[in-house]
Amino acid sequence: MTPRLVYVSGPISAGPLEHNLRAALDVGDWVRELGHAALIPHLDILWQFVSPHSWEENLAHDEIILERCDALYRVPGDSPGADREMEFARRHDIPVFTSLRDLHAFLRKGYNNGTT
């Protein structure tokens, strides 16, 4: 089995930051425990403290990274940025998952050329 790279998309600034970080990191830990890698853009919040960029600049940067990922997992919650990332993934034929069960099946079986 080839390890996959999963982009963990979800709310960052909408709602309690600590809750949003925890939700994304929990998914990332789960992906790692399955033997794959997680890319968690929520961690860019640290970069913002040192070198601030606009929301649009951050999303454009994240899209460059997302294009190289094998799948996107959408953490629940309102987020215009995460919604935009989902649409970007779909336009680029990157499988999108909103269910950990479905993501788990994808990671176990490999690439299926579809979105869930």
pLDDT tens-digit map of 92-113: 999 999 999 999 999 998 644 4
Provide the β-strand partners of residue 29. none
Residues 27-54, mean pLDDT to the nearest whole number: 93
The predicted model scores a pTM of 0.90
The fraction of the chain above a pLDDT of 90, given in percent, is 78
| All structural domains of the chain | 5-109 (3.40.50.450)
Question: Is the pLDDT reported for residue 87 higher than 90?
Answer: yes
Helices (H) and strands (E) counted in the chain, each on its own, are 5, 4
